[in-house]
């Protein structure tokens, strides 16, 4: 089975490729733009012709679409670019999938919800609060207009095997703690940090389930199962880094910048009922993420 992964140089895309490369039944082709390597195909998702050419050349059985802009504050400042990256690109990739009859899995976000009534099921009504969430909801709405057969997987804040501490909003905390001065962290918004290795594992299971159950599709959720504010994450990370906890304080009001929802906990029972899922404990997962950078 041939699988095309967009955004394969990114945090989640790399994890997906690592997972799929472990199985000889999958032939995985990854795309990238600004961080292209000899193992990845260059594709600019802002260029429709490049997308069409890549999909036509690779002719995958399945496309996992990870490429997106994900930083809410940046999305708020440039909504036009956000729409082009998150909505237009999804539309063009879906059209390419439709043309060759490929199944498409589109990665979306918990930020399509407003955080006022968790936990959120796949059929819960979206109400995004910021430009990022709105763009991802628009990208979701593109799918059924173009494809009869697809899957949307919503995930929350991600961390995992990183190339730099600023690659994930979770490990950015470690960078802030390394500054060595007192730091304030959001203690208002509840998050469910999710390991990219777990998401990749779940995606492989979804693909395998689809092969045995051709009618499977629609919207699914996957999330870590431990609730943390960024303040509580910082406390865990400070222990890993042997940084005094008195340098870490909490802010009990919403963080500045783009509006964040208070609690967008995703209900994952749909996938769990199919025997799909894996959870990495946050303390272990984040230690594995940051420790290589503490030794250098």
- The secondary structure of the chain as a DSSP string is -EEEEETTTSHHHHHHHHHHHT-TT-EEEEEESTT--TTEEE--TT-HHHHHHHHHHH--SEEEE------HHHHHH-HHHHHIIIIIHHHHHHHHHHHHT-EEEEEEEGGGS-SSSPSBPTTSPP---SHHHHHHHHHHHHHHHH-SSEEEEEE-SEE-S-SSGGGSTTTHHHHHHHT-S-EEEE-SSBB--EEHHHHHHHHHHHHHHHHH-TT--EEEE---S--B-HHHHHHHHHHHTT--GGGEEEE-SPPSSS---SB-PBP-HHHHTTT------HHHHHHHHHHHHH--
Q: Which domains does the chain have, with CATH numbers?
A: 2-165+194-226+265-279 (3.40.50.720)
Q: How is residue 212 written in tokens?
A: 């045995």
Paired with 186 in beta bridges are: 251
Calpha distance 256→73 (Å, rounded): 9
The per-residue pLDDT for 295 is 63
The answer to whether 80 and 123 are in contact (CB under 8 A) is no
The per-residue pLDDT string of the chain (296 residues; one tens digit each, 9 = 90 and over) reads 999 999 999 999 999 999 999 999 999 999 998 776 778 989 999 999 999 999 999 999 999 999 999 889 999 999 999 999 999 999 999 999 999 999 999 999 999 999 999 999 999 999 999 999 999 999 999 999 999 999 999 999 999 999 999 999 999 999 999 887 788 999 999 999 999 999 999 999 999 999 999 999 999 999 999 999 999 999 999 999 988 888 789 999 988 889 999 999 999 999 999 999 999 999 999 999 999 988 65
The single residue listed with the structure tokens 């967008």 is 264
Compute the half-sphere exposure of residue 17: CA atoms within 13 Å on the CB side of its CA: 22
Predicted local distance difference test score (pLDDT) of residue 171: 95
Report how far residue 28's alpha carbon sits from residue 21's, in angstroms, rounded to the nearest whole number: 7
Question: In this structure, what token pair is assigned to residue 285?
Answer: 């997962």
pLDDT of residue 180: 76
């Amino acid at each position: 089975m041939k699988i095309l992964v967009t955004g394969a140089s990114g945090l989640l895309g790399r994890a997906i490729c690592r997972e799929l490369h472990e199985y000889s039944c999958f032939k995985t082709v990854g795309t990238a733009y600004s961080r292209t390597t000899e193992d990845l195909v260059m594709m600019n998702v802002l260029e429709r012709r490049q997308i069409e050419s890549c999909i036509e050349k690779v002719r995958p059985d399945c496309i996992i679409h990870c490429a997106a802009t994900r930083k809410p504050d940046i999305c708020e400042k440039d909504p036009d670019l956000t729409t082009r990256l998150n909505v237009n690109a999804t539309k063009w990739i879906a059209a390419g999938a439709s043309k060759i009859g490929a199944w498409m899995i589109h990665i979306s976000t918990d930020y399509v919800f407003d955080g006022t009534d968790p936990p959120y099921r796949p059929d819960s009504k979206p109400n995004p609060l910021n430009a990022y969430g709105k763009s991802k909801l628009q990208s979701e709405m593109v799918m059924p207009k173009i494809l009869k057969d697809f899957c949307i997987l919503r995930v929350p804040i991600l961390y995992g095997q990183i190339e730099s501490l600023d690659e994930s909003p979770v490990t950015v905390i470690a960078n802030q703690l390394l500054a060595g001065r007192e730091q304030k962290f959001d203690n208002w918004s509840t998050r469910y940090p999710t390991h990219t290795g777990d998401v990749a594992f779940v995606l492989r299971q979804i693909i395998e389930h689809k092969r045995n159950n051709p009618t499977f599709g629609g919207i699914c959720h996957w999330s870590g199962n431990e609730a943390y504010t960024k303040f509580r994450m910082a406390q865990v990370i400070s222990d890993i880094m042997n940084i005094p906890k008195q340098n870490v304080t909490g802010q009990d009001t919403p963080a500045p910048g783009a509006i964040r929802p208070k609690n967008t906990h995703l209900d994952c029972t749909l996938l769990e009922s199919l025997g799909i899922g894996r959870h990495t404990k946050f303390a272990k997962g984040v230690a594995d993420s940051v420790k290589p950078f503490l030794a250098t």
